[in-house]
Amino acid sequence: MAGGLRHAVNICLLSREYPPETGTGGIGTYTYNMAAALVHLGHDVQVMTATRSSEQDYRDHGVRVHKIKRRDIRPKELELIQYSYSVARSLGRLRCRPDIIQASEFGGEAFWLSRRRACPLVTRLATPLFLIDRFNGKAFSGPRPLLNWIEKRPTVRSDGIFTSTRALAKEVCGAWNIDPVRVEVIPNSIDLTRVRRLAGDSPPPEGLRNRDFLLYFGRLEERKGVRVLARALPAVFEQFPNLSAVFIGSDLGYQGAPLREHITSCAPGHGERLIFLEQLPQEKLFPIVKRAKIVVLPSLWEAFGFVAVESLALGRPLVATSGSGFEEIIEDNISGFLVQPGDSEALAGKIIDVLRDQANLRRVAERAADRARDFEVSAVALRLLEYYQKIRTRWLARKDASRIQ
């Protein structure tokens, strides 16, 4: 028996994001880790991913990676439909046909193939565009109903739906009129061994070697609560004169200007204590995470948050927000700390309290590393395989019943 199934199966994962070309987002992180774990458990795994350059297929740690040319087309809806059509055509040309296909709802990659398929389709909820719109104000020039439909249609047509958190399931089921009974909760996961190996013992960049710093890493955008943290920093800096704040990630801007400018304007006179780094590959990022005094993730709402689990894995005390996916990862005052989203004053107070109590900080750091084990990819992969088995059994039974009729 391979990983809970009676025999090895061929699994196809659809993910526009995939390292190394486009692997920095949560979907890419999930797919990369899970694909390798499923191969390790004895299954055949193929990944369909996007490329803007070469369409050369390759193998990576036993995973067969098929690259599909992604084109910039306007309007965005047409680009998504065209890409989903390319995915369906590429799947039809595979010599080794999948036994089960898994896609994210984001961008509607399975839109075309959901119309008619030769095997079960499972949708893993990530973060639909309507949720990004809600907290960022816009995703692609404001709310557009057709984009929502492109994501919703293949999801509701799927043979199975699962989600990383109950918080995400609640939002999507409510918006898309999906019976919550249809949605399974299977947490996202990371390869703990790999994260800790990449963090290693190498020093951080030269500019951080002799600094105490709190860290934010992830995209600099409105829904991540970066402006909330910016407004909290002056009070924190006043209490800790030797503390710096490091921001790592792509700057998506705010009201037409870089968010870096807004953050700097919120802490006048402290410019030398603000350090901004562009998005980094994990082998350069994780050594910095490992040496942060604390990690602060002030999202207004979060479906899951790989950055949270990566911080836990490296034993970093974490200050994050309640009311969404973080609450299902972090046990308040046990493996981290939670504060109400959008409240700069409460965030500043929490950071100050946490940094003042060094004994509690060390205790929480130890529990953080323990909590990370609950998200180890090898264990989560077994749960996913059990779910696949359930969906395949149900799908095959329906297929047999239709033949009899």
Cβ atoms of 125 and 169 within 8 Å: the answer is yes
Structure tokens at 86: 């390319």
pTM above 0.85, yes or no: yes
10-189+376-404 and 192-374 agree in CATH topology: yes
- Other beta carbons within 10 angstroms of residue 350's beta carbon come to 22
Q: Go through the chain and tell me how many residues it has.
A: 405
pLDDT means per 10 residues in the chain (405 residues)?
A: 61 92 80 95 95 84 92 89 94 88 96 90 94 71 78 96 96 96 96 93 82 95 95 98 96 90 94 94 93 97 94 96 95 96 98 96 95 96 96 88 67
3-state SS string over the chain? Answer: CECCECCCCEEEEECCCCCCCCCCCHHHHHHHHHHHHHHHCCCEEEEEEEECCCCCCEEECCEEEEEEECCCCCCHHHHHHHHHHHHHHHHHCCCCCCCEEEEECHHHCCCCHHHCCCCCEEEECCCCHHHHHHHHCCCCCCCCHHHHHHHHHHHHHCCEEEECCHHHHHHHHHHHCCCHHHEEECCCCECHHHHHHHHCCCCCCHHHCCCEEEEEECCECHHHCHHHHHHHHHHHHHHCCCEEEEEECCECCECCECHHHHHHHHCCCCHHHEEEECCCCHHHHHHHHHCCCEEEECCCCCCCCHHHHHHHHCCCCEEEECCCHHHHCCCECCCEEEECCCCHHHHHHHHHHHHHCHHHHHHHHHHHHHHHHHHEHHHHHHHHHHHHHHHHHHHHHHHHHHHHC
Closest CA to 195 of 387, 398, 377, 399: 377
Q: Where are the domains of the chain?
A: 10-189+376-404, 192-374
**Which CATH topology does 10-189+376-404 take?**
Rossmann fold (3.40.50)
Residue 21: per-residue pLDDT:
76
Superfamily of domain 192-374: Glycogen Phosphorylase B; (3.40.50.2000)
Name the burial class of residue 363, with classes exposed (0-12), middle (13-18) and buried (19+) by CB atoms within 10 angstroms of its CB.
Answer: middle
Predicted pLDDT at 139? 46
Q: What is the per-residue pLDDT for 140?
A: 46
